[in-house]
Amino acid sequence: MAAYASSLVFDDIPPDVVEKAKLCLMDTLGCCIFGSTLPFVKVLTNMVLAEGGSDAAAILGTSHRTSASQAALVNGTAAHAFQLDEVHAGATLHPGSVVVPAVLALAHGARLSGRAFLTAMVAGYEVGIRIGLATDGGMFRRGYHNQGTTGALAAAAAAARALGLGPGATAQAFGIAASQSAGLMAVQEGANAKAFHSGRAAQSGVYAALLAGEGFTGVDDVLDVEYGGFFSTLADGYKPERLTRDLGHEWETRKVGYKLSPASNGSITAMDTLRRIMDSNGVKTGDIEHVTAHVSTNTLHHCGWDFDPRAAKGVLAAQMNLRYGLAAMALDGCATPAQYTEARIKDPKIAEFLAKINVRVCDEFDRDGALRLASRIEVRSRGGATYVDQTLYRKGSVEDPVSTAQLEDKFLALTHAVLSRSAASMGIEQIRTWDALPRVPGSGSIWGRQR
């Protein structure tokens, strides 16, 4: 994999994968800029600025610059801060929020062209996604967050390619990054540290590549070591053949999906199904007596837990919770950032509707791993009628894709508080022609605060 990452060149990448990478870049930059406005990201930004450092890289959505590693930390955290970043469902990885900040942090110093930038991005996506696929959910089952574990290696692959490291040094970067892998899934109940996992992974990738480039060593063959290795320690089994099967021929980057709702993936399929039942059958909120969500064991553990608005540890807890998502959808008919505020969470109507919701495991969804994010919703009305519908694949997934126009609208909405409309539109146009840029934009770019 190190040989692949270090030898990948732009002309090896199919044109449709290049276009996909541009969309992933746009989506991630939008999430970074939106995330920069959130209070807990501002706490991290202020800490980094107080520590001081060079002006090697920009903190997106602000006028500030800092060192490459610290910029990767803040931008990676911001990208994952509101659960809107793109995702590869099979790998349980949001590659953009670890890869893009790492490459962006090094772009100025490495004098990257647009083509070199996209090449490093794709190297990070392909390596990181394949590592996630090889675990087959094994890290998640053990309680590790793939953003902090797999993400560190994805960022290292991208950063190593950005710096032009050879296969030996890239392998050492993998070993250094793997030793920094961390992240506990208990953060899903509301901790700001969940987004911090992405930031630390991006930073770890930058550290790993910079150190390996100077001869610093990591763990040799870190993926295969039986005692204390990456897979042997963090996963309850893995499939090594997934790492290199059709590598360079089958492009996993193509399978990255996008999110239009700031909620966990398993919640989104359930919310969309409930909305469809209500719309197609004329069911009003007051008509609903009970809702049963049938989901996979994976979804039950990840987002099906009981939700008490009075004890919720911030907005993230609601974003990660399927029950809250169903309540918000039943009451508001949508799932936008407006549904995920402290005030909405504490609304007594939410608590009242939560009492009507039950979540059960569906054996069918467990048997087919491709359906682990699927949801079947059963609604019982006060009049005695029962309505059943299901959604197998989330809107925005490869199976049910969104359009480029929808992603551009998402970018405009996410950046509205920071960028003027004209600046955001210029940004979209710049990304469309990213592969033609002789140098990736630096401190004078449009990505800082405009309003």
Question: Which of 103-107, 142-146, 368-372 has the lowest average pLDDT?
Answer: 368-372
At 18 the three-state DSSP class reads helix
pLDDT reported for residue 446:
67
pLDDT reported for residue 137:
86
Residue 400 contacts by C-beta under 8 Å, 6 or more apart in sequence? 393, 394
Q: Are 264 and 373 in contact (CB under 8 A)?
A: no
Give the residue-averaged pLDDT of 395-402.
95
Q: What is the pLDDT of residues 337-376, one digit of tens each?
A: 999 999 999 999 999 999 999 999 999 999 887 788 999 9
Place of tokens 């003027």: 420
| Structural domains of the chain ordered from first start | 2-260+401-436 (1.10.4100.10), 265-391 (3.30.1330.120)
Residue 260 contacts by C-beta under 8 Å, 6 or more apart in sequence? 395, 396, 402, 406, 410
Give the residue-averaged pLDDT of 366-394.
94
Please give the mean pLDDT across all residues of the chain: 96
pLDDT at 400 over 90: yes
Please compute Rg for the chain using Cα positions: 21
The C-alpha atoms of residue 161 and residue 170 are separated, in whole angstroms, by 8
The C-alpha atoms of residue 243 and residue 5 are separated, in whole angstroms, by 12
Both tokens assigned to 172: 């050492």
More confident residue, 388 or 138: 388
pLDDT reported for residue 109:
95
Share above pLDDT 90 across residues of the chain, in percent, rounded to a whole number: 91
Stated pTM of the model: 0.95
pLDDT reported for residue 179:
98
Confidence of residue 141 (pLDDT cuts 50, 70, 90): confident
Q: What is the pLDDT of residues 209-224, one digit of tens each?
A: 999 999 999 999 999 9
* 10 residue type, one letter: F
* 404 residue type, one letter: T
Share above pLDDT 70 across residues of the chain, in percent, rounded to a whole number: 98
Of the candidates 74, 33, 16, the residue with the CA atom closest to the CA atom of residue 253: 16
The C-alpha atoms of residue 44 and residue 445 are separated, in whole angstroms, by 23
Alpha helices (runs of H) in 224-264, residue ranges in sequence order = 230-234, 241-244
β-bridge mates for residue 388, sequence order? 378
Q: What is the pLDDT of residues 15-47, one digit of tens each?
A: 999 999 999 999 999 999 999 999 999 999 999
β-bridge mates for residue 288, sequence order? 381
Q: What is the pLDDT of residues 252-289, one digit of tens each?
A: 999 999 999 999 988 999 999 999 999 999 999 999 99
pLDDT reported for residue 54:
93
pLDDT reported for residue 445:
66
Give the residue-averaged pLDDT of 194-213.
99
Give the residue-averaged pLDDT of 71-92.
97
Of the candidates 440, 295, 448, 304, the residue with the CA atom closest to the CA atom of residue 377: 295
Place of tokens 């090449």: 119
pLDDT reported for residue 391:
97
Residue 384 contacts by C-beta under 8 Å, 6 or more apart in sequence? none
Question: Which of 24-38, 125-139, 220-234, 437-451 has the lowest average pLDDT?
Answer: 437-451
pLDDT reported for residue 140:
87
**Dihedral, CA of residue 58, residue 450, residue 76 and residue 134, to nearest 10:** -110
pLDDT at 443 over 70: no
More confident residue, 402 or 237: 402
